Copies of this chain bind each other. A is one copy, B any other.
Amino acid sequence: MKKPLILICNDDGITAPGILNLIESVKDLAEVVVVAPDSPQSGMGHAITIDSTLEVNKVQLDSSLSHIEAYSTSGTPADCVKLALHEILDRKPDLCISGINHGANSSINVIYSGTMSAAIEAGVEGIPAIGFSLLDFSWNANFSACHAVVQTLVSEALEKGMPEGTVLNVNIPKTDGAPVKGIKVCRQARANWKEKFDKRVSPSGKEYYWLTGDFVLLDQGEDTDIAALEAGYVSVVPTQFDLTAHHSMTHINSWDLKI
């Protein structure tokens, strides 16, 4: 039987330890092709490149991964998936996985996440997809606990398929290498960021800002991704790209919309 094909993307760039760990975890489960940005793209949300050109270069991964087919692109994570599906791959992948992101994409962070935008882009094109993130921003993060998580979820996705219109947002707690407590299916916690702008003055006297902020949890539910992560579990949030707020239809239909 032909091996399944897995497309691997990320938003931290093709040299990030996170994506190398992701490749390592699945390379014996499937045929793997990697298409990832040539530089970090964190916070890119679902950006695509429509007003400039894109470049693609075949690259050689290091040592134990040197036999894996891999490409870097000048585009965003969503661009990488589009390029992979329509220019690079000669067949439709059975699964697209993205990450492992260096840092959390739980709760409202899903909407800013380049990692998840790659997974969502694949989902829109009808391909089962999973985004993986580790709750550790460090480039030298310890990815040991991720291996079993990735293998479990990838195996299940390949075997059981993904419900239509759904991709998975997987966040993995930071550990010193010890195994996680388990995996929980959750909903996205309500939260936002309380922004602070760090205002500075350049040597030439021009004011500029750095975006900083504090995460504000607005949700005490025990069934959220934040609650699972705080308890030491991996959170798996089934995530959709039909953004229709069906629960608000009645309210908006009560408006006087005659013009």
Set B47, B148, B239: member contacting A245, Cβ < 8 A: B239
Stretch touching chain B among A16-24, A59-67, A104-112: A104-112
Interface residues of A in 172-195 (CB under 8 A from B): 179-180, 182-183, 185, 187-188, 190, 192, 195
Q: Give, as a whole number of angstroms, the nearest-CB distance from A138 to chain B.
A: 16
A50 touches B211 (CB 8 A): yes
- Summarize A's interface: helix, strand, loop or mixed: mixed
**Copies of this subunit:** 2
| Docked-complex contact B245 and A166, CB < 8 angstroms | yes
Total interface residues in chain A, CB < 8 Å:
86
A236 interface residue (CB < 8 Å to B): yes
Chain A interfacial positions (CB closer than 8 Å to B):
40, 42-51, 53-56, 78-79, 82-83, 85-87, 108, 110-112, 117, 120, 124-126, 148-149, 152-153, 156, 160, 162-163, 165-166, 168-169, 179-180, 182-183, 185, 187-188, 190, 192, 195-197, 199-200, 206-211, 236-249, 251-259
Query: Shortest 10 CB-CB distances between A and B: which pairs?
Result: A45-B46, A240-B245, A45-B45, A238-B248, A163-B248, A238-B245, A183-B257, A166-B248, A156-B255, A187-B244
